[in-house]
Amino acid sequence: MPSSGLESLTQVPDLPGLDEEDPFAGAMPKSEIGALQFLEENPLYDGRGVIIAILDSGVDPGAAGMQTTTDGKPKILDLLDCTGSGDVDTSKEVEADGDGRIEFPDGRVLAVNPEWRNPTNRWKVGVKKAFDLFTDTLIKRLKKERRKEWDKQQRECVTKVLADLYAFDSRVGGAGAALTDEQERERAEYETKLKLLKDLADSYDDQGPTLACCVWHDGDTWRAALDSSQLHPPADACPPATGPAAPRSSPSAVPSERGVGGGELASHPGMSSFRLEQQFATLSPADACNYALNVYDEGNVLSIVTDSSPHGTHVAGITAAYHPGDESQNGVAPGAQIVSCKIGDHRVGRESGVGLTRALAAVVQHKCHLINMSYGEPAAVNNKGRFVELANQVVHKHNVVFVSSAGNSGPGLSTVGAPGGTSDCIIGVGAFVSPSLANAGHSLREPLEDGLQYTWSSRGPTTDGDLGVSLSAPGGAIAPVPTWTLERRTLMNGTSMASPCVCGGIALVISAAIKENVEFSPASLRRACETTALPLHTHQPDSKCTYGHGLLQVGAAFGRLQNLAFGPDVRYEVSTSVSGSNTSGRGLYVREPYQWTGTAVEARCTIQPKMHEDVDNQTVRATFEQRLTLHSSAAWLSVPDTLLLTHNGRGFGIRAELAQVPPGSLHYAEVVARSAGADAVLGECFRVPVTLVRPIPVPNTEQAVVFEEMAFMEGHIKRQFIAVPELAGWAEITLAAGHCVTMDAPRSFMLQCVHATAHTRLDDNSMRRFFSLASGEIKSFTFAVVAGTTLEVALGQFWLSLGASVVTCSVCFHSVVTHPAGALVLDGCARATRVDCWAPLRAETLQPVVKVTAVQTKLRPTKATLSPLSAPRDQHPDGRGIHSLVLQYSLKVKEPGMFTPRLVGINRQVYDGEFEAQMYMIFDENKQLLGCGDIYPEATKLPKGDFTIRLLLRHDQADLLVKMKSMPLVVERRLTDAIIFPLSKSIKGALLGNDTFSQVHLPRGGRCPVFVAPLADDKLPKDAYGDAPVTLVGTATWGNTSQQCGGGPCPVSQTVHYIVQPKKPEEPKPSSALDEPDDWSKANMAALSARIGVLKGMKNATSEDWAKIQEAAAQLKKDLFTTSKAKLRVLSAHLTAADHKASRKNRLHDVVTCAQEVIAAIDIDSLTKFFAMKCNEEGAEAAKVKKEMEEHRGFLVSAYKSLCGALLDLEDGPIVQADKDESHEDLLETAFRNLRKWEDPTNTLLGARREARRGCIGSAIQALNKVITDSDTAVPKEVYELRILLLKELSWTHLAEHEQKCLVWKYPNSFSLF
């Protein structure tokens, strides 16, 4: 079949090869875009006077080349964490004591530097997890290094316990000697300690150090300081400092303490917000992580700015690095300054909506000329969304040139990502590899004769017909990376590297324009760059889709910009609509089978001139008129000759002759508009892209197509366009490598199958695989297809895989059509649901699997807080304020598992979404942060208990957020094991539970019903019935793949929603009519319960409160002590009020008294005899007695627990005491012995406290560990506090310190900041 792939790589302009004088020069590409030549001729136009915003993962100010510009100015004007991931809540205000010390939220008391000027002596304090500021790579390295010191201390503890054990054995006569009970207990304690140390080592999870942060106002500005001493090694773990502090490559770097005991708060010099003094520092020598500080909200928020990956520093280095004395390492525009806007959020691992919005605001506030953004995501809609609206304002109102990567999702067509490849206001850049880059950067073993696009670089057009890729540039470089990586430079490749290369080149053009007073706008500069770009592989039909207009050429672009300065400052919005269609696009894209029914396609192109909003209507807009000539770049595309364009816009018709396009081919052409007459010097004004993709039909008999012996070389791509048959569900693609003589080693390939359907994300409509093929080898893949559309199968030999190859490709279509179609809704109340299956294309194996994989709980907000944001970083570029909506949801978890919160219809929308932010956080009852997520929700592991989910939405329209105040949230628990529905061949089989359906062979056109029975009650998840609405969800697959593809379930599935049947009622308990109380008795019982409930809940904070409780209890005893049942309830309520957690420490003797009263009121002998019986009597009266006895036992156990707890609290401390009060000792031990008769307290907090006071510290810690691991609710703080105390008692300091550091995060005072 004919193919439109790259048949050869000829007709490529001369590109720089290997530089014999400096073979490494190509590792930082500049020649390819004409930057070196331009700088040789214009050395002062090296970016000076240009400010570039780097919207990325953050830039390390200490990285090589990031200190100064060529004219000695600071390279980095500002370092901003726009995401908020580095924010610290410093709203708590404290005053320094007489010794100049302040207390932090984690309990540390640290001295401030007496040289810090603080007229008020008021300090704002907060804490931050250091690991929250680091990348996963750095955390992994630090954990490994920190573990060495931890293991050393751990071994010392183990050695000490073993020595004590051996000494004990020697003392008692050897390991096998007979022991007394006391000795047995002592020896068991040693063994427990050894096991405990092993268990603690196995479960050790280094949460990292905690930074203590303080903020103050020195009378002129806000300043901040950090205590990073926990990041520094302890004094006995490192050698003394032998030299000066590590050298800094910037005069603005802040020195920090080195060597022993570094990082103390008082040694910090106190830093202002970075933009004021360009100060930065290093957290510690171990991490080598540089940071800057910014203070917001009147000192209530401190932002610690670090990078979230090396990506941003690398990008900044390509754009503007300056290396004095080594120009070959310089970035493209070494004279430019940068503003680093971190949009990569540590918490979610990608850009965040908040980060993007704040970054655009910062661009305007810093009066930047350029933006480079090497980030992006797939989008369902082109050129729309909240971010695109804001970007349009920044570009067209504030005259900022926006450059961004087109994406790394190729090699298929229509794979460009947002925002770079899909937005009009942004210059999208593809990734090109030149011979010099291949040699110097990638160390290719054989020279690359010609340049080519990286195989993975995204291609256009967009699904609405725009070109997608505007320019191309070298997509790799060996550039600077952060110091924490422990290397100066490294190789990265991607369109992320191509974009800053173009951005740097445009910075040179702007620098020249500023110096020579050439007026320009983003629109004129873009036209200058695109119309002078160096075209690549123009003989190939996919050249424009792959390379855009070509390689940027800096010198030619500046020359063109000088000419454009004499014309009107205008940009052109292009809209096309096909005749008879109600949709429009930014170009004409004819791709789908239904569009090829005629011999031609006619479309209407509308051109709307756009000018800056501040231009005068009367003198500029009203007088605007352009005479244009229209030209077609292909014979099959007919266009008018001329167009007189005015401010209100004009339209014209075009016609594409479809008959001239053979099946299976790609044709691309453009309508080019050029200025005519006196304005001819202005040249090209706009282009309308026209892309024709004609698919080949699939033969009805085979339902398959074969592409024989396709020849490949490195970088070659073959594109096959296939009309997917109606009713097709999935395809199986088989690739067979030929027995090629030159294929002497396996070759690497990229396969991508793409449907370019509107309003659908690329990752929902494509499949991409990277694999290798050896000579004669066969590989198969399966993927879902969209029936009735055009499928592109793009197969490319990876550009690094050298040598020839031959591959035969076959694509076979399959389908099992079901009725009902769409989502399959199964009702648990229906005894059977019929699903009809049909094989319309070919014979299929019908082997259905219907299963439930998750439990979905629907929640409504319990609280909604709408508030305006007043901080400058939260103002739109045009000055409009932003509002935040925080929704709070309550989640009760009955079954532990992995939980994912979802906003249906809002998630997975970044650049094309309506909201400027969507982020959620999950907290336990103690406000400990357990997980967070954003547009791509992630699963968080949750135990049983109560949890709070907080969700942030942001928008500038408060009325829109008001509508979201009651927005439902779906929380999905993934089942560990799927629940499979029983399937039958008949409805009778479904009812009786037999006639099981397993597998049926369906001939072509064959039909077969499948009957799905409901799930049995005992198969349902335990949380299938909840307080909130619950739905079970899963999937249904019907067909199997062929044996060549594994013979497993096909890649197409239906979503299953299961409506759970009503809960089965409990069996009624036998009762007698005589036992039924009358109405008067019921009223008395209700009054009794109400009065007792009031007593139990009475406030007990002061002596006056306690007096009221005593009075109420006395009155209840007087009124209700008529029966033992009422008496016990009153006494128990009295005990509950006395034993209230908030005030019990002042009422311990009262608790003892109340507990003893409860115990004395119970007939313990009768209770013992009742529960000693193996078989109780039956009948209504017996059931009544049993209920009463169980209630009495509950009262008794609670009383003993309160008594033991109070007696323990009356002691001086939890550890065994030398001088015990014998009477107290007897009372306590008696209470414990009695409690053990009814409930085992060993693995409880009480049991642990008892073991500790007996001197069995190891056993006590073991019990506490059990409390923590077995708890179904949030663990009380006192459990961890006791464990810390006991660890210190054993001198296991490293364990105690680790536990102490974690406390502040397990029990914070407030929810974490968004």
- The residues carrying an active-site annotation are 56, 311, 496
Ordered DSSP codes for 441-472: TT--SS--SS-EE-TTS-----TTS-----EE
Query: What stretch of H or E contains 1121?
Result: none
The dihedrals phi and psi of 1111, each to the nearest 5 degrees, come to -65, -45
| Tokens of residue 552, six digits | 């940027």
**Helix 1124-1138 and helix 1103-1120: axis angle, to 10°?**
180
| Cα–Cα distance for residue pair 549/537, rounded to 1 Å | 11
End-to-end CA distance of the chain: 56
| Cα–Cα distance for residue pair 579/602, rounded to 1 Å | 6
CA 635 to chain centre: 49
Residue ranges of the alpha helices (H) in 1210-1276? 1222-1238, 1245-1253, 1257-1270
| Cα–Cα distance for residue pair 824/1195, rounded to 1 Å | 51
Query: What stretch of H or E contains 269?
Result: none
To the nearest 10°, report the CA torsion of 307, 311, 317, 320.
Answer: -80
Query: What stretch of H or E contains 310?
Result: none
Cβ-proximal residues to 249 (8 Å cutoff; 6+ apart), any chain: 62, 64, 67
CB atoms within 10 A of CB 1213: 11
Q: Residue 133 class from Cβ within 10 Å (0-12 exposed, 13-18 middle, 19+ buried)? A: buried
The answer to whether the beta carbons of residues 893 and 857 sit under 8 Å apart is no
Cβ-proximal residues to 361 (8 Å cutoff; 6+ apart), any chain: 872, 873, 874, 875, 876, 877
The answer to whether the beta carbons of residues 112 and 214 sit under 8 Å apart is yes
Q: How many helices (H) and strands (E) does the chain have?
A: 25, 58
Strand ranges, E, within 1153-1288: none
Residue whose pair of structure tokens reads 């197409």 in the numeric block: 1052
Q: Residue 674 class from Cβ within 10 Å (0-12 exposed, 13-18 middle, 19+ buried)? A: middle
Q: Is the dihedral of CA 469, 475, 481, 485 positive or negative?
A: positive
| Cα–Cα distance for residue pair 1293/149, rounded to 1 Å | 12
Strand order in the sheet with 766-773: 717-723, 790-797, 747-755, 766-773
What is the chain's Cα-based Rg? 37
Ordered DSSP codes for 755-810: E--TTS-GGGSEEEEEEEE-TT-EEEEEEE--TTSEEEEEEEE-TTS-S-EEEEEE
Query: What stretch of H or E contains 1007?
Result: strand 1007-1012
Peptide bond into 411 cis (omega under 30): yes
CA nearest 428: which of 472, 370, 493, 385?
472
In terms of phi and psi (left: phi > 0; alpha: psi -120 to 50; beta: otherwise), the region of 1094 is alpha
What are residue 772's DSSP bridge partners?
A: 748
- Three-state DSSP class for 117? coil
